[in-house]
């Protein structure tokens, strides 16, 4: 790894347009240093093989100095290093513009302050994003339309629809942008999955299926099962359960975010290999570059 130190001088932000909720007196952007750690050997040229799982990069990439979560620049950086599915979070401004943000408030990941869904998009878009270490970057929150336009160049994205955002509006945006083939949506209950399906039966949907009862409900529903991706949770399930999902034509996602990623950090790459052998089609991880490297050998 070689460290690239980029010193960028930024003008102080103009006074916020939205009153106190958009101002944060603790940030001084007159002088900010960005540290970006760049792998010495990019591996994006390696083609995906059936002998390894697909990799879903949680929030598009996390814990990379100088690259914030849910940022187009982070997506591009990670995608250059490995063939990944970009998972990102869709929120909505008070004037109904869909954009990327994980939290309910702007506080943690931007230079703004206050509830995201009570703030105008024009104010949000002018904010600067912070990386996972709290460093302010020169990047801005992107709109969903900007992300879908980028993904249309040959990338796959999965859209985690946040609470308070109607899933139908997200699906409609995907359809209107001509992104049905490369954008899917994440839902957390049967009702939202059904709403997404009814808005456009072609949409690929990630659904929570953690047991046989939940599986049966989706099998008995109107869905095209080949368009469903079962998120089976953040712990490993019996291989026989993964086989049931595959037999139904449903793609299997195992979330390694948290404990399983930590276990792999401590015990080595065999953790990811074991999950793949158990039945994972997709590994959803905070360590996409490490997972990709684990399957190169």
What would the mean pLDDT of 230-246 be, rounded to a whole number?
Answer: 97
Instruction: Tell me: pLDDT of 46 over 60.
Output: no
User: Hunting for tokens 């690929």 — which residue is that?
Assistant: 204
**Is pLDDT at 85 greater than 60 in this prediction?**
yes
Q: Give the mean pLDDT of 251-276.
A: 96
Pick the closest to residue 205 from 166, 156, 171 (CA basis).
Answer: 171
pLDDT given for residue 160 in this prediction: 98
Cα 182 to chain centroid distance, Å, stands at 14
Residue 274 pLDDT class (50, 70, 90 cuts): very high
Rounded Cα distance, 22 and 57, in Å: 30
pTM, two decimal places: 0.84
Averaged pLDDT, 13-29? 35
pLDDT number for residue 51: 82
Residue 180 has pLDDT above 60, yes or no: yes
Confidence of residue 12 (pLDDT cuts 50, 70, 90): very low
How far apart, in whole angstroms, are the C-alpha atoms of residue 275 and residue 224?
26
Residue 289 pLDDT greater than 70, yes or no: yes
CA nearest neighbour of 204 among 242, 157, 139, 169: 157
Instruction: Report how far residue 251's alpha carbon sits from residue 210's, in angstroms, rounded to the nearest whole number.
Output: 13
Mean pLDDT of the chain: 87
The answer, yes or no, to whether residue 17 has pLDDT greater than 90, is no
Mean pLDDT of 216-237: 97
- Reported as a pLDDT band with limits 50, 70 and 90, residue 50 is low
State the average pLDDT over residues 158-168: 98
Domains, the chain: 2-294 (3.20.20.190)
Q: What percent of the chain has pLDDT over 90?
A: 81
């Amino acid at each position: 790894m070689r460290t690239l130190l980029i010193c960028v001088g930024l003008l102080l932000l103009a006074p916020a347009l939205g009153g106190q909720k958009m101002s944060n007196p603790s940030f001084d952007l007159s002088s900010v240093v960005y540290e970006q750690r760049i792998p010495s050997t990019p591996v994006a040229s390696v083609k995906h093989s059936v002998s390894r799982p697909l990799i879903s990069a949680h929030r598009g990439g996390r814990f990379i100095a100088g690259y914030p979560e849910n940022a187009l620049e982070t997506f591009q950086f990670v995608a250059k290093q490995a063939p990944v599915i970009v998972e990102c979070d869709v929120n909505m401004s008070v004037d109904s513009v869909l954009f990327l943000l994980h939290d309910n408030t702007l506080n943690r990941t931007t230079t703004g302050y206050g509830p995201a869904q009570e703030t105008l998009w024009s104010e949000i878009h002018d904010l600067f994003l912070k990386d996972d270490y709290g460093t302010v970057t020169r990047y801005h929150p992107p709109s969903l339309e900007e992300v879908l336009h980028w993904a249309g160049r040959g990338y796959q994205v999965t859209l985690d629809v946040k609470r308070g955002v109607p899933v139908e509006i997200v699906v409609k945006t995907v359809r209107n942008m001509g992104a049905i083939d490369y954008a899917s949506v994440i839902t957390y209950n049967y009702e939202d999955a059904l709403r997404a399906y009814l808005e456009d039966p072609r949409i690929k949907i990630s659904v929570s299926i953690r047991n046989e009862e939940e599986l049966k409900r989706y099998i008995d529903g109107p869905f095209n099962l080949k368009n469903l991706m079962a998120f089976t949770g953040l712990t490993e399930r019996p291989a026989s359960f993964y086989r049931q999902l595959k037999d139904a034509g449903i793609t299997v996602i195992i979330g390694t975010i948290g404990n399983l990623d930590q276990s792999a950090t401590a015990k080595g790459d065999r953790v990811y290999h074991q999950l793949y052998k158990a039945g994972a089609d997709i590994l959803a991880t905070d360590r996409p570059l490490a997972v990709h490297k684990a399957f190169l050998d």
